[in-house]
């Protein structure tokens, strides 16, 4: 019998297939057709300052909100897989993403745990900005 920790570790290791496509110098996308017919879109968008700051956003069926459609472990595994491909290909110095708190349900705890598991392995240190009442912003900076 698997322990809970083994189950959680394996849960994010079974993504749907992802392909990363370069749209232009400041945008990469990954689109995956899900078994229920909806699409999972993952977008990596850069904004130029002194260096490029990349932002990650994912949508299921056109929504960034929790859909209640199920399959969340495999969805997050797919987002992680696409993110890892993006990081290996682009090698960005700065990446951020947001956990929305405005709808009363936040992914802050999940994102914190995922960063703890993956960011260092990917070569990034992390910080979290919790100063806004509507969202928490997670930052990854190359070590």
Residue carrying the six token digits 């709808």: 103
17 and 41 in a single domain? The answer is yes
* pLDDT reported for residue 91: 97
Domain that holds residue 132: 93-143
Total number of domains in the chain: 2
Per residue of the chain (143 residues), what is the pLDDT tens digit?
Answer: 556 555 555 667 789 999 999 999 999 999 999 998 989 999 999 999 889 999 999 998 766 766 666 678 889 999 999 999 999 999 999 999 998 877 666 788 888 989 999 999 999 999 999 888 888 999 999 99
76 and 114 in a single domain? The answer is no
* pLDDT reported for residue 127: 95
H/E segment holding residue 22:
strand 21-24
102 and 140 in a single domain? The answer is yes
Position 104 in a domain: yes
- In angstroms, the CA 49 to CA 43 distance is 19
6: left (phi over 0), alpha (psi -120 to 50) or beta: alpha
């Amino acid at each position: 019998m698997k322990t809970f920790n083994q189950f959680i570790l394996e849960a994010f290791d079974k993504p749907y297939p992802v392909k990363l496509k370069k749209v232009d110098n400041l945008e990469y996308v990954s689109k995956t057709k899900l078994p229920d017919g909806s699409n999972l879109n993952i977008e990596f968008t850069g904004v130029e300052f002194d260096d490029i700051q990349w932002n990650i956003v994912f949508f299921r069926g056109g929504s960034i909100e929790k859909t209640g459609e199920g399959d969340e472990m495999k969805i997050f595994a797919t987002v992680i897989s696409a993110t890892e491909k993006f990081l290996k290909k682009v090698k960005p110095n700065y990446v951020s993403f947001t956990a929305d708190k405005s709808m009363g349900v936040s992914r802050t705890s999940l994102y914190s745990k995922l960063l703890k598991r993956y960011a260092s392995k990917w070569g990034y240190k992390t910080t979290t900005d919790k100063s806004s009442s509507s969202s928490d912003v997670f930052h990854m900076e190359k070590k």
